[in-house]
Amino acid sequence: MRIAFFDAKAYDKPSFERYGAEHGIKFKFYETKLTEDTAELARNCDGVCTFVNDTLDANVLEKLADLDCRYLALRCAGYNNVDMKAAGNCGLRVCHVPAYSPHAVAEHAMALLLTSVRRIHKAYIRTRDFNFSLNGMTGIDLYGKTVGVVGTGRIGRVFINICKGFGMNVIAYDKFPAKDADFPYVSMEELLAQSDIISLHCPLTDETRHLINCETIKLMKKGVIVINTSRGALIDAECLLDGIKSRQIGAACLDVYEEETDYFFEDLSGHILNDDILARLISMPNVIVTSHQAFLTEEALSNIAETTVLNLVQLHDENACPNELIWKDGEIVHGK
């Protein structure tokens, strides 16, 4: 198989080249993102491999189908950027990587939280200038604090276990509660009202878009810390900014951002950032932003490449893949 690999970064290539060679798949790596204008690069390829910020709307998918592409291999868990109905109509077979390393994302969420509450980022900058003053560096204990976890899939459950290790009280909300949970589920309203820290680990759907908005922020404890390592559009960024300015939100730890497509994964140093909301968030002393790097560990990169390659092999050779996403009767179902 020949697969056009879009939005390629240096850290992607080694694992995909290794696993691809083992299974007879040749990846053509392109640094550009997949859009309607760049879809032509997939000509003479059996499919494409894409990431979270590639454009996969009906126009792009129809163009891929016209180029005789058969496979759309997402090297990520989320598929909110895919027009699944259009993919089905075009005959494109879509697969994703549902779990590559829940530990990577959950550990990054805790790293952001610890960095924020213990002022690690400020201490690093200060001591680099040989400033060893502790003024303004007072943090808080996590022990005994209540953390509200929204979404208790693989990543959410790992994050919960980490929080328990710190002696934190855990409450959770999920539309589909786990039957074997060893933590209490509460309503979303209760979670907002009771949590000292709120961490988002749910997928982006029409129902969860702007889950954190101007109204839900009003329901939160004053001074709450908000963590998002899932999808940017779970939070209305403008409302988040207003919540921080009003001191309702005490701190924000963000690995994702609602309008990140043109910014994250790119080196824009020396450029003027056109997104005023993102620029203002980054400028605030109680906001930490990382560039969608929660997934970025050696283990996760290897797992992503291996799973993506096996997905393609199963679709091509066996005509069946458990990680296939199928549009059927107006909803998405998983393959076998």
Catalytic amino acids?
231, 260, 292
Phi, psi for 141 (deg, rounded to 5): -75, 140
23: left (phi over 0), alpha (psi -120 to 50) or beta: alpha
> Using alpha carbons only, how large is the chain's radius of gyration in Å?
21
Q: What tokens were used for 100?
A: 């590559």
Q: Count the Cβ atoms, other than its own, within 10 Å of residue 121.
A: 13
Sheet holding 2-5, edge to edge: 26-29, 2-5, 47-50, 71-74, 93-95, 324-328, 331-334
Query: Are the C-beta atoms of 170 and 159 separated by less than 8 Å?
Result: no
Query: Are the C-beta atoms of 3 and 294 separated by less than 8 Å?
Result: no
Burial grade of 336 (CB within 10 A; 0-12, 13-18, 19 or more): exposed
| Whole-number Å distance between alpha carbons of 200 and 307 | 25
Query: Are the C-beta atoms of 170 and 163 separated by less than 8 Å?
Result: yes
| Whole-number Å distance between alpha carbons of 26 and 49 | 11
